[in-house]
Structure 1
Amino acid sequence: MNSPKLLALRLLLSLLHCPFCLLVTVSSSKPQVEVHEHTDAVLTCEFRTEKDQNPRIEWKKKGKSVTFVYFNHKLAGSYAGRAKIEGATLTIHSVTQKDSGEYRCEVTAGEDHVNLGEATVTLSVLVPPHVPSCEVPNSVFVGSGLDLLCRDKLSVPPATYRWYKDNKALATTAGTPYSIDTSKGTLTLQSVSKTDEGMYRCESFNSVGAPKSCVAQQLHVIEYPWNLAIFISGTAALVTLLFFCCLCVCVCRRRGCCRKDQKTKSTKSFNPPPPPPPPIHSLKHYKQTHSFMI
Structure 2
Amino acid sequence: MNTVKILVLPLLVTLLLSSVCLSVTVSSSKPRVEVHEHTDAVLACEFKTEKDQNPRIEWKKKGKGVTFVYFNHKFTGSYAGRAKIEGATLTIHSVTQKDSGEYRCEVTASEDHVTLGEATVNLDVLVPPHVPACEVPSSVFVGSGLELLCKDKLSVPPATYRWYKDNKALTASADTPYHVDTNKGTLEFKSVSKTDAGMYRCESSNSVGAPKSCVAQQLKVIEYPLNMTILIAGGAGFLVLILLCCVCVCVCRRRGCCKKDKKTKSTKSYNPPPPPPPPPARNLKHYKQTQSFMV
What is the TM-score when the length of structure 2 is the normalising length? 0.81
Task: State the match for 1:8 in structure 2.
Answer: none
Task: State the match for 1:156 in structure 2.
Answer: 156
Task: Map Cα deviations across residues 249-292 of structure 1 (whole Å, 9 max, x no partner).
Answer: 4543555434557975x5444389xxxxxxxxxxxxxxxxxxxx
Superposed, 1:1-294 pairs within 5 Å as 18-21=17-20, 22-253=22-253, 255-260=255-260, 267-270=266-269
Shift of 1:16: 7.2
Shift of 1:146: 1.1
Q: 1:255 to 1:107 in 2, by over 3 A?
A: same
Task: Map Cα deviations across residues 68-118 of structure 1 (whole Å, 9 max, x no partner).
Answer: 111111111211121111111111111111111111111111111122211
3-state SS of paired residue (2:227): helix
Q: Name the stretch that deviates more: 195-204 or 133-142.
A: 133-142
Q: Percent identity?
A: 78
| Structure 2 letter corresponding to 1:111 | E
3-state SS of paired residue (2:231): helix
Q: Name the stretch that deviates more: 59-68 or 122-131.
A: 59-68
Task: Map Cα deviations across residues 183-213 of structure 1 (whole Å, 9 max, x no partner).
Answer: 1101111211000001111000001111111
Q: 1:55 to 1:174 in 2, by over 3 A?
A: same
Shift of 1:139: 1.3
| Structure 2 letter corresponding to 1:75 | F
Partners of 1:244 and 1:174 in 2: how far apart? 43
Task: State the match for 1:10 in structure 2.
Answer: none
For structure 1, the 5+ residue unaligned runs are: 1-14, 273-294
Query: Which one has the bigger helix percentage?
Result: 1
Task: Map Cα deviations across residues 127-164 of structure 1 (whole Å, 9 max, x no partner).
Answer: 01111111111111111111111111110000000000
Q: Name the stretch that deviates more: 69-78 or 154-163.
A: 69-78
Q: Name the stretch that deviates more: 37-46 or 235-244.
A: 235-244
Partners of 2:263 and 2:245 in 1: how far apart? 23
Shift of 1:232: 1.3
| Structure 2 letter corresponding to 1:18 | L
Off by >6 Å, runs of 4+ in structure 1: none
3-state SS of paired residue (1:242): helix
Q: 1:222 to 1:261 in 2, by over 3 A?
A: farther
Q: Name the stretch that deviates more: 17-26 or 83-92.
A: 17-26
Task: State the match for 2:276 in structure 1.
Answer: none
| Structure 2 letter corresponding to 1:172 | A
Partners of 1:256 and 1:23 in 2: how far apart? 98
What is the TM-score when the length of structure 1 is the normalising length? 0.81
Shift of 1:222: 1.3
Partners of 2:200 and 2:66 in 1: how far apart? 46
Give the number of the structure whose alpha-carbon radius of gyration is greater. 2
Task: State the match for 2:282 in structure 1.
Answer: none
Q: 1:267 to 1:118 in 2, by over 3 A?
A: closer
Q: 1:200 to 1:160 in 2, by over 3 A?
A: same
Q: 1:206 to 1:224 in 2, by over 3 A?
A: same
Q: 1:152 to 1:121 in 2, by over 3 A?
A: same
For structure 2, the 5+ residue unaligned runs are: 1-13, 272-295
RMSD: 2.1
